[in-house]
Chain A
Amino acid sequence: MALHFELVTPEKLFRSEEVYQVVVPGTDGDFGVLEGHAPFMSTVRDGAIQIFTSAGSAPEVIPVQGGFAEVNEKGLTVLAEKAG
């Protein structure tokens, strides 16, 4: 029961890990991604990504800029121009 999450910036692969849930600031509003999310693509507004490593744990917050998120059967990938 884990979501594979990758955060990629042009400089490097910023994060690649198994998490419980990620909340992404989409252009049309925040959306949370859990394991088994339907295929989905969205642009991301400048803001912060919240990463929950387990249910109910305190989120880790990573600010991102200029991003794009893709959910497919492999997990969630966020492409951002700047992160952290």
Chain B
Amino acid sequence: MASLKELKIRIGSVKSTQKITKAKQMVAAAKLRKAQAAAEAARPYSGRLEAVVASLASKIAGGSGEGASPLLAGTGKDDVHLLVVANSDRGLAGAFNANIVKAALAKARALELDGKKVQFYLIGRKGRPVINRTYPGKIVAQYDTTGVKEPGFNQAQAIAHELTDMYLNGKFDVAHLFYSRFKSALAQIPTEQQIIPVKIPADADRNAIGATVEYEPNEEAILDDLLPRNVTVQIFKALLENNASEQGASMTAMDNATRNAGDLINKLTIQYNRSRQAAITTELVEIISGAEAL
């Protein structure tokens, strides 16, 4: 059994850990509300843009087909896949980062089994060690978000710009984006989304806008204008969802940690009191038996 002093030190250390987890939990809870509001505010734009692009794209794909932007039609190859993995910069968020990385690695394995080449583009720094260990030398670039407090449209624009440039220079053929979709503070769903070329949902309603719509200047020009913007917006959405998810995961994980620390403190305190009592009893017995011997 540990000595009284050891127990006392142990209790003190668990208490200070609990203070940290408690503080982190409260910070995450405060940030969560803001992040969630931002993620929800961005939904109308991305949803509407997606709908317009889908209906325009299916219209053009159904019509001429050729001459469409490579962002829509693809490069004609399917060899090099770029996995864009969006992580956070900080830990203390439970399995949040691990889940995203796990989804990306599973996808990478599946693609390699199919004989494709896999490359990684990282957003945030938490995913790097694991991916670098599993696929050394496959990380082509990393977007640093350490200096950014909350994801803004400018970051999304910079990332999208870099990706589009790499794509048009033939560095890769297909890009998948991995992030965590925010469902609630308790549930975040690791999500994969193909961002380049744009995936047209099979059930896109071709008549959603009707045949009588006038286009200015014309369908192709509008689509050319909208496609790069769509990439930006999808990334922006992913960043916001990720941010909200991170705070949610962090809050839940830290809530658990705080509770566990409390349980541990109770257990240790009981143990401490027991050994103290045992020590006193032993001492008393010694004194009494000493007095009787006189």
Contacts and interface: CB of A to CB of B under 8 A. Distances in A.
B216 A72 contact: no
Contact of A39 (B42, B52, B212): B212
A27 B49 contact: no
Interface string B198-228: 0000000000011011111100011001100
Contacts of B44: 8, 13
A38 B215 CA distance: 11
B45 interface: yes
Interface string B138-163: 00000000000000010010000000
A82 B221 CA distance: 21
Interface string B38-77: 1001101110110010000000000000000000000000
Contacts of B41: 11-13
B283 to A, nearest CB: 70
A39 B45 contact: no
B222 A10 contact: no
A8 B153 contact: no
Interface in B210-267: 210, 212-217, 221-222, 225-226, 229, 233, 236
A74 to B, nearest CB: 11
A43 B221 contact: yes
A10 B45 contact: yes
Contacts of B221: 27, 43
Given A8-B45, A10-B42, A11-B41, A39 B210 contact: yes
B126 to A, nearest CB: 25
Contacts of A9: 45
A27 B222 CA distance: 10
A39 B216 CA distance: 11
B63 to A, nearest CB: 15
B4 to A, nearest CB: 58
Interface of A: 8-13, 26-28, 31, 38-43, 66, 68, 70, 72, 77, 79, 81
Interface of B: 38, 41-42, 44-46, 48-49, 52, 153, 156, 209-210, 212-217, 221-222, 225-226, 229, 233, 236
